Chains A and B, each alone.
Chain A
Amino acid sequence: MAGRHGSGVDAFYVEGITPLHNLASQIKIIAAFLFVLILVLTPANWFLAFAFYTALVVSLILYIRVPWKLVRTRLLLEIPFVVFALFLPIFGLPPKIDVLGISLSEAGLLAGWNILAKATLGVLTTVILSSTTKPKDFLLGLERLKVPALLVQIAGFMIRYTVVVADEVRRMAVARESRCFEAKGPKSWKILAQGLGVLFIRSYERGERVHLAMLSRGFSGRMPIANTQVVSARDWAFGLLLPVSGLAILFWGWFWY
């Protein structure tokens, strides 16, 4: 049965023409990684430093012209951490302080802020990375950075087959509903769980078939890739602007606080 299929997983990529879009992906991956590392190294009570980081990230987002609505949607990823961060002040250790009549732990407040600030800035950094890098370029970047080939391949297959598996989920749901199944209430959980189990087995079997098809076309453990993009020192300098600025802020904080 044909029907309409889901859209591809290039969905995170936002078409653009800024130099950041064209920059070799391994530089962007390194830059993003270093910047997140700097964020994590910054003590929670250097509030002004976090303000500077935010300014840096926000101006970068403006620069690559990602719509704010999109940024907001991707920030939803953060919600579990936010929930955890909100619990810390309530259940944290004394000394307690009163905020709007609620007794909150001082250490907990700081720890909550720490998670919230770093997670938000970290997610925004990955939004910048994913919006300017196509998934295939991202994988290429990982490969060039000498990440173990097996891991890169697994990530690659995940991207390739997400759409296929999502399609399979949809077809199974249609077949269920066509036999009067309604997904509501605990009674339906067993059926849904069985569906999930079947999906797992089928994905595993598909994996085997794909592997066989690869072997029969001469696959021997490495993906053949054409690596032609030339990377200059200027590219590195441009790409590392973000972590270097971050580092500058970190050093400034060192002296200031």
Chain B
Amino acid sequence: MGLVLVLNNLALSIKNLKYAYPDGHQALFGVDLDLAFGSRLALLGPNGAGKTTLVLHLNGIIETISGSVEVAGIPVEKKNMKEVRRRVGIVFQDPDDQLFMPTVYDDVAFGPLNLGLSEAEVKKRVEVALEKVKMQEFADRPPHHLSFGQRRRVAVATVLAMEPDILVLDEPSSNLDPASRRELSEILLALDVTLFMVTHDIPYALEICPEAAILNGGKIVARGSTRELLANNELMSANRLELPFGMHLDHIPHN
């Protein structure tokens, strides 16, 4: 019983996850990572560290071959796939990949409809999700008429509408202008959901996630409070991570 309770406290549990692509290129060399419900974790790492490969394991797009991935205590495997994909919402880096329906409304409704919910329930979910990202007025607009920042927010809504346990964001701040960046961080901070954010935008990670882990060479090389990790110059430079030009940790307020 105790064990079950412990498992249920974890939104995500990854144990010794290894993965090599069919062409032999190994991307993950034994990743261990836990994430408690309600926490917000930033996964930092340089290009080619295996971040994307790890994310695609979380909802079974890449099949777990060695090691294990559990979402809310449910193993990510074929027979649980629908449940897993409902619980893990991934917002991909390019909103254009995610938005392919004629209108914003249809796009946000896409996931809930796939879950087989009633029309009324779908409508409610779409409204709530769009409200959370402050895009209610745009429901009837086609996605390609929106600005990039707006499209990113709609992409977040498409996933929120599935009421996931974990929201996974792949480089959420990329290509956003400063105002859109701030708007998105306000939205994300207001959400009551477990957040797993993959990024190399370090100020953004610090702003949104109290906790961080560093992935490099297909392994988690560090895990701890985001500010402490960032203050460790040796660790940072060993993993090709750095603050943007002219920025210093002391300039970033504690939240």
Contacts and interface: CB of A to CB of B under 8 A. Distances in A.
Nearest to A201: B144
Contact of B53 (A3, A180, A182, A194): A3
A181 B86 CA distance: 11
A175 B97 contact: yes
Interface in A165-206: 168, 171-172, 174-182, 191, 194-195, 198, 201-202
Nearest to B102: A194
A178 B85 contact: yes
B59 to A, nearest CB: 6
The contact size tier of chain B is 35 or more
Interface in A1-55: 1-4
Contacts of A171: 92, 94, 97
Which label, helix, strand, loop or mixed, suits the secondary structure of the A interface? helix
Instruction: Indicate the member of A4, A168, A175, A177 with the most B CB atoms within 10 Å.
Output: A175
B90 A178 contact: yes
A202 B111 contact: no
B52 interface: yes
B61 interface: yes
A100 to B, nearest CB: 45
B52 A1 contact: yes
Contact of A179 (B102, B144, B162, B170): B162
Interface string B27-51: 0000000000000000000011001
B85 A179 contact: yes
A96 to B, nearest CB: 53
B56 A174 contact: yes
Interface in B49-90: 51-53, 55-56, 59, 61, 82, 85-86, 88-90
Contacts of A174: 56, 61, 92, 97
A172 B51 CA distance: 19
B118 interface: no
Contacts of B61: 174, 177-178
A181 B116 CA distance: 11
Instruction: Indicate the member of B25, B56, B171 with the most A CB atoms within 10 Å.
Output: B56
A188 to B, nearest CB: 10
Contacts, number: 66
Instruction: Indicate the member of A2, A177, A179 with the most B CB atoms within 10 Å.
Output: A179
A83 B252 CA distance: 70
Contacts of A175: 92, 97-98, 100
Contacts of A180: 82, 85-86, 111, 114-115, 162
B170 A202 contact: no
Interface in B88-107: 88-90, 92-94, 96-98, 100-102
B158 interface: yes
Nearest to A199: B100
Nearest to A181: B114
Given A178-B61, A180-B115, A180-B162, A172 B100 contact: yes
Contact of A178 (B52, B59, B100, B102): B59
A195 B56 contact: no
Contacts of B93: 1
Q: Sort A-B residue pairs by CB-CB distance and give the 6 closest, nearest first.
A: A179-B111, A180-B114, A171-B97, A198-B100, A175-B98, A1-B93
Interface of B: 21, 23, 25, 47-48, 51-53, 55-56, 59, 61, 82, 85-86, 88-90, 92-94, 96-98, 100-102, 110-111, 114-115, 144, 158-159, 162, 170-171
Given A3-B56, A4-B21, A180-B82, 16 more contacts: A1-B52, A1-B92, A1-B93, A1-B94, A171-B97, A172-B100, A174-B92, A177-B61, A179-B114, A179-B159, A180-B86, A180-B111, A194-B102, A195-B100, A198-B100, A202-B96
Interface of A: 1-4, 168, 171-172, 174-182, 191, 194-195, 198, 201-202
24 contacts: A1-B52, A1-B55, A1-B92, A1-B171, A2-B48, A2-B51, A3-B53, A174-B61, A175-B97, A175-B98, A175-B100, A178-B59, A178-B85, A178-B88, A178-B92, A179-B85, A179-B110, A179-B111, A179-B114, A180-B111, A182-B114, A194-B100, A195-B100, A202-B96
